[in-house]
Homo-oligomer: A and B are copies of this chain.
Amino acid sequence: MTHKTRYTLAQLAELLDAKLIGDGQCEITGLAALQNAEPGQLSFLSNPSYVSQLKNSKASAILIDEKYLDSCPCNKLVTRIPYVSFAKATALFDNSPLPPTGVHESASVDASAVLGKNVSISANAVIAANVSLGDDVVIGAGCYVGENVSLGKACKLHSNVTLYHGVVLGKNVKIHSGSVVGADGFGFAFDGSKSVKIHQLGGVKIGDDVEIGAGSTIDRGALEDTEIGNGVKIDNQVQIGHNCKIGEHTIICGCAGIAGSVTIGKYCIMGGGSGVVGHIAIADKVQVSAMSLVSQSIPEPGMYSTGTIQAKTSQWKRNAIRFQQLDSIAKRLKEIESSTDKQ
Residues of A in contact with B (beta carbons under 8 Å apart): 30-33, 36, 81, 83-84, 86-88, 90-91, 93-94, 96-97, 104, 106, 108, 122-124, 126, 128-129, 140-142, 144, 146-148, 158-160, 162, 164-165, 176-180, 183-184, 186-201, 209, 211, 213-217, 219, 222-224, 231, 233, 235-237, 239, 241, 249, 251, 253-255, 257, 259, 272-273, 275, 277, 287, 289-296, 298, 302-327, 329-330, 332-333, 336-337, 339-340
Query: Are A178 and B180 CB-contacts (below 8 A) given A194-B209, A198-B86?
Result: yes
Contacts A91-B197, A96-B165, A178-B217 aside, 14 further interface pairs with beta carbons under 8 A come to A84-B191, A84-B196, A87-B197, A97-B165, A142-B142, A142-B162, A162-B177, A162-B178, A186-B233, A275-B291, A303-B313, A305-B313, A305-B320, A306-B309
B295 touches A275 (CB 8 A): no
26 contacts between A and B (CB under 8 A): A30-B201, A36-B224, A84-B190, A86-B189, A94-B199, A97-B147, A164-B177, A178-B180, A184-B213, A186-B236, A194-B249, A215-B239, A219-B236, A237-B257, A241-B254, A291-B291, A298-B310, A306-B316, A307-B307, A308-B308, A308-B323, A309-B321, A309-B324, A319-B323, A325-B330, A339-B340
B291 touches A290 (CB 8 A): no
Contacts of A235 on B, CB cut-off 8 Å?
186, 239
CA distance A180 to B236 in the complex (A): 10
B272 touches A259 (CB 8 A): yes
Q: How many copies of this chain sit in the oligomeric assembly?
A: 3
A90 touches B326 (CB 8 A): no
Contacts of A142 on B, CB cut-off 8 Å?
124, 126, 142, 144, 160, 162
Query: Are A304 and B312 CB-contacts (below 8 A) given A142-B144, A188-B87?
Result: yes
B302 touches A31 (CB 8 A): no
Instruction: Give the shortest distance, in Å, between A32 (CB) and chain B (any CB).
Output: 6
User: Which residue of B177, B180, B199, B330 contacts A322 across the interface (Cβ within 8 Å)?
Assistant: B330
CA distance A128 to B158 in the complex (A): 13
